[in-house]
Chains A and B, each alone.
Chain A
Amino acid sequence: MTPQSPGDGQVSRRNFLRNGARVAALTGLGAVVGTLVHRTSSQTTVWQIDPSKCLRCGRCATECVLDQSAVKCVHSYDLCGYCELCTGYFVPEPNALNTGAENQLCPTGAIQRKYVEDPYYEYTIDEALCIGCGKCVEGCSRFGNGSLYLQVRQHLCLNCNECAIGRACPGDAFRRVQVSQPYLLKTSH
């Protein structure tokens, strides 16, 4: 190291302070920009489930930080077959094709069944009861057209920085989407 002359001491201190101020200013600026970027990002994107990756594993019902999951079953009526024997509504081997609790697949009875005309029935989801377990989704996807699927309902979701369900999702189906298009809707077979 080059020995410093005693006269250089003041200049060094000034330089030191100047450099220190610069570093502090840059750090502060970085922090402000980082916070803004993060805030903007979390305000412009939300969590959503890609239906083409969803494995219907049941984690949406058990992993959400909310008491009752923000994930709900949604219904694409364009895809629905309005089946008399809906495999999203009935257990695999029902006693009868009626609304008896023992015949229903949904653990909370969140699907309503309504007669339309022979042999068609309409099915609607009561979101207040739905826990997002995906049992109906598996039944519908496995045997039917897949008109039932899971989506994060944005008016319920807390939009956590790290989604607890997404962390546990074995299909990596959770991803951030633009808040302007917050749902990944199924529209075709």
Chain B
Amino acid sequence: MRRGDALRSPGSSGSNGSRRDFLRRNLQAGGLLGVVGALTASGLNVRAARGSAENPFAYDVGKFERTDANLIHYAETARFQSPRPEPRRLALGPDGALHMAAGDSVVRLAEGGAVEFEIALAGPAQCLGVARDGLVYVGLRDHIEVFDAGGQRTAVWSPPGSKTWLTGLAVGEDDLFAADSGGRAVLRYDRSGRLLGRIGDRNKERGIPGFVLPSPFLDVEWHRDGLLRVNNPGRHRVELYTASGDLELAWGKPTAAIDGFCGCCNPIHLATLPDGRCVTCEKGLRRVKVYSALGEFESVVAGPESFAQSVPPGVSMAKAALDAAADAQGRIFILDPLAGEIRVMTRKRGTTAA
């Protein structure tokens, strides 16, 4: 009798053989399943091990990524997504309206983040400033363009140099100040676009050490006290200049601790509060802090734990650089380009300025 027949007729005389066959086949099938299961499990384990094994050479800044809660004097009161991709910089208009450079445009945002007004540009906007008369100054990589309140371009200023890389703009009483990372100087213009002078060039006689910029993050802020705040990231400090280029004050120290500036080159961007206090943004340990007008560390607006700290591989530092702007009420707007978000931070009750 053939094996198949036995299986087909259990009651037949060959039923013992069928049982043996049946058991053998079950064992074979079970064994096969076991092997497949073991292989799958080992594959999963390899994959899990790939992601989870501890790095014996880890670069550990964990203790600097947590902020003492007593130092955080600001609370988030609003947060909204950037309405445009590639957000880069923030600026406030005379009426307190938030303007943002994003991609190849500048947008004016309503309270909730809706676009009220948009200026299309020929290239990426690197920085911007809004004057009291409503004119919008936009820094493209090597030149400045001026737009009226209706969004019409009224002027294009010629590039000041072959290495120009504009990364910051500040509008003064009668002047416009442009931070040129490529030229390592702040350029002073009148409102018609005439270049009046350079600020921050290395000058031993005037006691000016010069800007050290390992990466293009020179920024400038103008305050109604008449002084410019300029970051000098390679020297880990903020420098205060008169409009004529005299260095009045410098403060800041290199440290990963909360009261100083971390890494090779920080701060990267600045903002000024109405009373002259300075808001600083850092990269590496992404954090936003407030210093007194004389440079004493005062408080944290948002610590490293507030932001994603690891910049994904292949994403440039510029695309992860935090920016801030402060309005007349002392609110601080933080732009996180990595998350594509804008946060509105308000001072907590019971906290006081230094």
Contacts of A61 in B (CB 8 A): 57
Taking a contact as CB atoms closer than 8 A, the residue among A59, A87, A135 that contacts B263 in the complex is: A87
From residue B61, how far is it (CB to closest CB) to chain A in Å?
Answer: 5
- Are A107 and B263 within 8 A (Cβ)? no
- Are A83 and B59 within 8 A (Cβ)? no
* B69 touches A (CB below 8 Å): no
* A81 touches B (CB below 8 Å): yes
Within A43-91, the residues touching B (CB, 8 Å) are 52-59, 61-62, 80-87
- Are B56 and A144 within 8 A (Cβ)? no
Dominant secondary structure at the A interface: loop
- Are A85 and B57 within 8 A (Cβ)? no
CA distance A152 to B45 in the complex (A): 27
- Are A138 and B59 within 8 A (Cβ)? yes
Taking a contact as CB atoms closer than 8 A, the residue among A58, A81, A92 that contacts B55 in the complex is: A58
Within B108-126, the residues touching A (CB, 8 Å) are none
Known: A57-B55, A168-B50. A144 touches B256 (CB 8 A): no
CA distance A138 to B212 in the complex (A): 22
- Are B234 and A84 within 8 A (Cβ)? yes
Q: B282-320 vs A: 1/0 string, CB under 8 Å?
A: 011000000000000000000000000011011011100
- Are B215 and A145 within 8 A (Cβ)? yes
- Are A139 and B59 within 8 A (Cβ)? yes
* B207 touches A (CB below 8 Å): no
- Are B236 and A85 within 8 A (Cβ)? yes
* B99 touches A (CB below 8 Å): no
* A105 touches B (CB below 8 Å): yes
Q: B212-226 vs A: 1/0 string, CB under 8 Å?
A: 111100000000000
Contacts of A93 in B (CB 8 A): 64, 255-257
- Are B313 and A92 within 8 A (Cβ)? no
Taking a contact as CB atoms closer than 8 A, the residue among A52, A53, A56, A59 that contacts B59 in the complex is: A56
CA distance A107 to B59 in the complex (A): 11
From residue B140, how far is it (CB to closest CB) to chain A in Å?
Answer: 18
Within B44-73, the residues touching A (CB, 8 Å) are 49-51, 53, 55-61, 64
- Are A92 and B236 within 8 A (Cβ)? no
Binding site for A on B (CB under 8 A): 49-51, 53, 55-61, 64, 212-215, 234-236, 254-257, 262-265, 283-284, 310-311, 313-314, 316-318
For the complex of A and B, the 5 pairs showing the least CB-CB separation, nearest first, are: A81-B214, A143-B263, A143-B284, A52-B314, A133-B57
Q: Can you list 15 contacts pairing A with B, beta carbon distance less than 8 Å?
A: A53-B314, A57-B55, A83-B214, A83-B264, A84-B212, A84-B234, A85-B263, A87-B263, A134-B57, A135-B59, A143-B264, A143-B265, A144-B215, A145-B214, A168-B50
